[in-house]
Amino acid sequence: MSQTLAITGMTCASCVSHVEEALKKVPGVTEATVNLATERAEIILTDSEEASPEAVTRLVRAVVAAGYGARAVSDDVFAREDAGRQQQDRHEQRMVIASALLSAPLVLSMMVHALGVDVMLPAWLQWALATPVQFIFGARFYRAGWIALKNRSGNMDLLVALGTSAAYGLSTVQMLRGITSMDALYFEAGSVVITLVLLGKLLESRARRQAADAIRALQSLRPDTARLIDAGRPMRFNRLILTEHLLPNDRVLVLPGERIPSDGVVEEGESDVDESLLTGESEAITKGPGAHVTGGTVNGLGLLIVTVSTSVSESTLARIIRLVSNAQASKPPIQRQVDRVSAVFVPTVLVIALLTLLGNLLLQGSWEHAIINAVSVLVIACPCALGLATPVSILVGTGVAAGKGILIKDATALEMAHAVTVVAFDKTGTLTEGRPVVQGLHMVGDAPEAEVLAALAGLQSGSEHPLAKAVMAYALERSVTAQNVSGVTAQPGLGVTGQLVSGPWAGQSIVLMSLHGMQQHHGAMVDPLPSLAADALQSGLSLSWVLRASDKRATPLAWMAFGDQIRPQAKQTIEQLKALGVRTVLISGDHIVAANRVAESLGMDQVFANTSPGQKAEIVASLRINQAVVAMVGDGVNDAPALAAADVGIAMGSGTDVAMHAAGITLLRSDLTLIPEALSLSRRTWQKIRQNLFWAFFYNVVGIPLAAMGWLTPVFAGGAMAFSSFTVVTNALLLRRRSSTP
């Protein structure tokens, strides 16, 4: 079980560590991941510990005891909290303006004095202006710093509180001693640092809200209300209810131009449905009775009555939102290393500040210079940028991906994708359209063709497999009625078997087996292949055999040839991957001739054919030798083991739920060009992470020594610290400016 909490009061990477440690101490918690950018905590509970109200209360209490705020959140938290965040931003904006107005005379006086004009404000007036800034607008730093001290740790607020208090305290003491020269008072230092830090947090908050736009955009697709048609009443007697109250089997009326409230099936009416905001498909799709519709899509000009198939919380849109949210909240391995550094960063800075104080005192003998230099060290070393460098990049990267129809399950998948050097593809349903057509049923015995086709139709009538649909369409074209078949079982990659209930072969089994399965279990029957079957293979068709089995004896009745069109974007996709320096491999359960034909036409580098699902996984594992990073692309149940075995699994949106669960990346629409787009976006995101970490460390590595040597004033240090966080967030937002694959 998992639980999500909204965390308030965090300001830097050290806060993240404190909250995680507090949550991990709660009984029943196996893992806790806190994200500074999204201000969310994802908690994994043991199987025996349900996410009950009591368990949630224990988690919240643990966070509150650590000095932070917490509450449970639901899937639509971003949409519901947006107004509250904007109100909070307006409050913080007023705080920044008021603090700046009080600090401005202090700064102007100092600047004019530096130009040689003596217009120094009286000391008492400087004190009067600085005091409200220090203790009213800077109160948040004292509160959070005190909490950190109680937890025997440190954070950004503690550094700001200590630094500005030292500058304010020194100036107050000097004023009381009657030393009121411009060089002896530093009221402007503490005031300006607090103002700049508040400004930096305001800009950072706004930028982080922009980074979360992807979630809010998805949330906005869900209508607030639905027109419920009461059971047994005409559609004109409908009433508005909250969408979240819809239940499976409810009937809803969707007027032209309205959004469909939840996943369902069209019961009456016909209309064009615009799915572009959800899938990226630009053309509207005509939906009539029996057609599946997705919640959040827009109804065209027709009137639809839809039977709801799932609750809103379990709809396709809700699952997409959860996937994006989970990816944004998760941490890649590099961030865990940064967190370990951050855990010891603040104590290290405190030691450096103390050494700076003592060193300057010994060398210069001046308490004033020693304290000011120590203050500069404390202020510039705040680890805000360090805590934001990775999560903000992940937040923006996964949001951009979602907007393109690429769902990334977690940050690890995003991080691994940037290093992919080999992409392995399944053939049917991935490189091909996945809508095979029966090219012919060829008898090899005396059995009537109509009887064989009727048995096959019964065998495949309950399956959603593409080959099954092709068989059913072939039987329908020939007006063949399906026989009753029971006990149907399937072996992925090999075939399907069932027992005939009626007809001349009642009690016997009917089997549809792939050529690979036949060669593996009934080699003598297909060696050599009939010349017509061999010609079909040479032309790129796939073969399956029809068998009748009784008393452990199997008799071949016929063979079927299936044809499937290569997807229009397949060749372009392979070319784009090659441009990225990625090798492409085809792994197919089909015959080597058919697999080779597809691979050669697309210009792929390597082919593996006649593979079972287990063999696909073994091949993927073998491709990872020599430190190659492998991505596997598939769509079916038989691809799930290979998707799980790959460094990065990529599932086609048209595929099965099993494939999507096994994959780290899911493509919302069956557009193969999204694969190089996903890899390219991962590379750009990883580049932003490295840039942000460089700048975060650069500010500290360069700034701390300069501050310790007295070359940076507290005011400049405060500006640099605030600017570092803003730089990191803004740099990550640049990911949204570039949208095309190179």
Across 145-159, 196-210, 387-401, 563-577, the highest mean pLDDT is recorded for: 563-577
Residue 219 covered by a domain: no
Mean pLDDT, residues 460-468: 80
Q: Which pLDDT band holds residue 740 (cuts at 50, 70, 90)?
A: very low
Q: What mean pLDDT value characterizes the chain? A: 81
Distance CA 520, CA 488 (A): 21
Q: Which of 493, 528, 563 is the last residue of a domain?
A: 563
Q: Are residues 206 and 355 in the same domain?
A: yes
Cα separation values, 154 from 125, 165, 204, 236, 349, Å: 33, 16, 21, 64, 10
φ and ψ at residue 115, rounded to 5 degrees: -85, 0
Q: Which residue has the tokens 């379990």?
A: 314
479-509: burial string, b at 16+ Cβ within 10 Å, e else: ebebbebeebebebbbbbbbbbeebebeebb
- What single-letter amino acid sits at 609? A
Q: Which of 73, 98, 114 is the last residue of a domain?
A: 73
Q: Between 140 and 526, name the one with better pLDDT.
A: 140
Residue 540 covered by a domain: yes
Q: Is 119 exposed, middle or buried (0-12, 13-18, 19+ CB in 10 A)?
A: exposed
Instruction: Return the minimum-mean-pLDDT range out of 31-35, 491-495, 593-597, 632-636.
Output: 491-495
- Per-residue pLDDT of 600-635, as tens digits, reads 999 999 999 888 777 888 899 899 887 789 999 987
**CB-based contacts of 652: which residues, under 8 Å, 6+ apart?**
429, 430, 633, 634, 635, 659, 667, 670
pLDDT at 700 over 80: no
Among 573, 569, 213, 258, smallest CA distance to 403 is for 213
Find how far residue 101's CA is from the centre of its chain.
Answer: 42
Is the four-CA dihedral 432, 435, 440, 445 of positive or negative sign?
Answer: positive
- Per-residue pLDDT of 34-92, as tens digits, reads 887 778 888 888 865 566 778 888 899 999 888 888 888 755 444 445 555 667 778 88
CATH number of the domain at 242, please: 2.70.150.10
Q: Are residues 208 and 88 in the same domain?
A: yes
Mean pLDDT, residues 143-154: 77
pLDDT at 676 over 80: yes
386 HSE (CA, 13 A, CB side): 28
Residue 643 covered by a domain: yes
Distance CA 383, CA 203 (A): 16
Residue 523 covered by a domain: yes
- Could you please report the per-residue DSSP string of 460-523? HTT---HHHHHHHHHHHHTTPPPPPEEEEEEETTTEEEEEE-SSTTTTSEEEEEEHHHHHHH-G
Q: Which residue has the tokens 């497999």?
A: 465
Distance CA 654, CA 464 (A): 12
**CB-based contacts of 70: which residues, under 8 Å, 6+ apart?**
5, 6, 7, 8, 41, 59, 60, 63, 64
Strands lying side by side in the sheet with 251-254:
238-242, 225-229, 251-254, 304-308, 264-268, 292-293
Q: Are residues 205 and 341 in the same domain?
A: yes
Q: Are residues 390 and 441 in the same domain?
A: no
Report the percent of the chain where pLDDT is more than 90: 15
Return the number of other C-beta atoms located less than 10 Å from residue 426's C-beta: 28
Distance CA 724, CA 215 (A): 26
Residue 449 covered by a domain: yes
Q: What is the predicted pLDDT for the residue at 115?
A: 63
Q: Which pLDDT band holds residue 253 (cuts at 50, 70, 90)?
A: very high
Q: Are residues 589 and 518 in the same domain?
A: no
Mean pLDDT, residues 347-355: 86
Q: Are residues 336 and 206 in the same domain?
A: yes
Q: Are residues 649 and 691 in the same domain?
A: no
Q: Are residues 446 and 374 in the same domain?
A: no
CATH number of the domain at 470, please: 3.40.1110.10
In contact, 168 and 134? CB cutoff 8 Å: yes
pLDDT at 575 over 90: yes
Strands lying side by side in the sheet with 271-274:
285-287, 271-274, 298-299
Report the percent of the chain where pLDDT is more than 70: 82
Residue 220 covered by a domain: no
- Could you please report the per-residue DSSP string of 397-410? HHHHHHHTTEEE--
Is the four-CA dihedral 133, 135, 141, 145 of positive or negative sign?
Answer: positive
Q: Report the number of distinct structural domains present in the chain.
A: 5
In contact, 513 and 495? CB cutoff 8 Å: yes
Among 207, 195, 209, smallest CA distance to 93 is for 195
Residue among 76, 250, 410, 426 flagged as catalytic: 426
- What single-letter amino acid sits at 527? D
Q: Between 363 and 207, name the one with better pLDDT.
A: 363
In contact, 680 and 665? CB cutoff 8 Å: no
Question: For the packed helices 674-708 and 333-364, what is the interaxial angle rounded to 10 degrees?
Answer: 10
pLDDT at 218 over 90: no
Q: What DSSP designation does 179 have? A: -
Q: Which pLDDT band holds residue 237 (cuts at 50, 70, 90)?
A: low
In contact, 481 and 558? CB cutoff 8 Å: no
**CB-based contacts of 179: which residues, under 8 Å, 6+ apart?**
none
**CB-based contacts of 552: which residues, under 8 Å, 6+ apart?**
none
What is the distance in angstroms between the CA of the first residue and the CA of the last residue of the chain? 41
pTM of the model: 0.67
Q: What DSSP designation does 259 have? A: B
CATH number of the domain at 35, please: 3.30.70.100
In contact, 44 and 375? CB cutoff 8 Å: no
Tell me the residue range of the domain where 40 lies.
Answer: 2-73
In contact, 613 and 491? CB cutoff 8 Å: no
Instruction: Return the minimum-mean-pLDDT range out of 169-178, 606-615, 714-723.
Output: 714-723
Q: Are residues 142 and 274 in the same domain?
A: no
Q: What is the predicted pLDDT for the residue at 212?
A: 62
Find how far residue 508's CA is from the centre of its chain.
Answer: 50
Instruction: Return the minimum-mean-pLDDT range out of 71-85, 431-445, 694-708.
Output: 71-85
Q: Is 228 exposed, middle or buried (0-12, 13-18, 19+ CB in 10 A)?
A: buried
Mean pLDDT, residues 670-678: 90
Q: Are residues 539 and 449 in the same domain?
A: yes
SS (H, E, C) 536-579: HHHCCCEEEEEEEEECCEEEEEEEEEEECCECCCHHHHHHHHHH
**CB-based contacts of 407: which residues, under 8 Å, 6+ apart?**
320, 323, 324, 327, 401, 665, 666, 667, 668
Q: Which of 563, 578, 613 is the last residue of a domain?
A: 563
Distance CA 202, CA 89 (A): 7
Q: What is the predicted pLDDT for the residue at 741?
A: 43
* Beta strand 606-608 pairing with 495-500: unpaired
- Could you please report the per-residue DSSP string of 310-338? S-GGGSHHHHHHHHHHHHHHS--HHHHHH
* Torsion (CA) 211, 214, 219, 222 in degrees, nearest 10: 160
Q: What is the greatest pairwise CA distance in the chain? A: 117
Instruction: Return the minimum-mean-pLDDT range out of 183-197, 206-220, 713-727.
Output: 206-220
Q: Which residue has the tokens 């409200």?
A: 132
Q: Are residues 124 and 159 in the same domain?
A: yes
Residue 401 covered by a domain: no
* Beta strand 69-72 pairing with 542-550: unpaired
CATH number of the domain at 622, please: 3.40.50.1000
Residue 598 structure tokens: 């597809």
**590 a catalytic residue:** no
φ and ψ at residue 647, rounded to 5 degrees: -65, -40
Q: What is the predicted pLDDT for the residue at 742?
A: 41
Residue 319 covered by a domain: no
Q: What is the predicted pLDDT for the residue at 307?
A: 93
Distance CA 370, CA 175 (A): 18
Q: Are residues 349 and 273 in the same domain?
A: no
Q: What DSSP designation does 419 have? A: T
**CB-based contacts of 736: which residues, under 8 Å, 6+ apart?**
396, 399, 400
What region, left, alpha or beta, does residue 665 occupy, with left being phi > 0 and alpha being psi -120 to 50 degrees? beta
